[in-house]
Chains A and B, each alone.
Chain A
Amino acid sequence: METILEKKIRELDEVAKRNEAKPARPLRPGQSSLHDIIRTPEQAERFMRLMKFAAENPPNS
């Protein structure tokens, strides 16, 4: 007879087999990830300059 733990293990194995969990929530329509925006080294450099500027010039400073 199947124990409670064996049942839990069987259920988890079945869930895992379906492989439905996404490692990250998918983006909503209209949302972009940085990965989509930054595709070239030049874009990455520009992004880093912007981030540095934003860090050095916080709002209300």
Chain B
Amino acid sequence: MAVPVILNFDTSYKVEKATDDLKNGFFTTELQEGGKESLKIEISKNPHELMPGVYNLGFGPVTEDGRINDKAELPHRDYSKVFSTILFLGYRYMVKNPDHMLGIDGSDNRRAVLYFRMLQRNYDYLDNYFEIFGLKYYVRMTRFGKRQYDNPFDFADVLPSPEKIIKNMRIRLEWLYNYFIFKLK
């Protein structure tokens, strides 16, 4: 994706189908080679088990069994429209459910970098609607190096701690967040 993503709800694709609670929605993306693909946006039924109030927002083409393939790499003609559509539905969902927050999984480091850069580039626009937080999935404990215990944590005592993403913040890529949380302003 060489072209920078510019988020703007005004230029989003039309959501063609949705459930009345806005937890599911479908729209059609145009592909670079001229084809089209239906994409699903899905908000989880239940909140994250360690983060009350945070619901996962996933998106992607749908597999035969109706699940979202969030590993799919589609060459979109207009990434700005695609991400604007996904966030627009998320925004409207939160307007209807103001006590819910939405989390987007970076899946892998490359996507996490992509999302972080997109959030930074569009910070002023997004700041009109959301507070955005970043969360790291894993605590990287390096003190003991290779002698590190397999499981050095008491997981009942380790709490996820979202950090507010601020404009122009710099963070080393290897320390980047894996999960991004949107909270309605």
User: A5 to chain B: closest CB distance in Å?
Assistant: 6
From B9, B19, B64, contact of A19 by CB (8 A): B19
Contact flag A5-B9 (CB < 8 Å), given A15-B16, A16-B20: yes
Q: Write the chain A residue with the least CB distance to B24.
A: A21
> In whole angstroms, what is the CA distance A12 to B16 when docked?
8
Q: Write the chain B residue with the least CB distance to A13.
A: B92
Q: Does B66 contact A (CB under 8 A)?
A: yes
B56-101 interface (Cβ within 8 A of A): 62, 64-67, 88-89, 92
User: B7 to chain A: closest CB distance in Å?
Assistant: 13
A1-28 interface (Cβ within 8 A of B): 4-5, 8-9, 11-13, 15-25
Q: Please tell me the size bucket of the interface on B.
A: 20 to 34
Interface string of A18-58 (1 = CB under 8 A from B): 11111111000000000000000000000000000000000
Judge whether B25 and A11 touch: CB under 8 Å: no
Residues of chain A at interface, number, CB under 8 A: 18
Please list 24 pairs of residues, one from A and one from B, whose beta carbons are closer than 8 Å in the complex, sorted by A's number.
A5-B10, A8-B10, A8-B12, A11-B14, A12-B15, A12-B18, A12-B88, A12-B89, A16-B18, A16-B21, A16-B22, A18-B17, A19-B18, A20-B17, A20-B18, A21-B19, A21-B24, A21-B26, A22-B24, A23-B19, A23-B23, A23-B66, A24-B65, A25-B62
Binding site for B on A (CB under 8 A): 4-5, 8-9, 11-13, 15-25
Binding site for A on B (CB under 8 A): 9-10, 12, 14-26, 40, 42, 62, 64-67, 88-89, 92
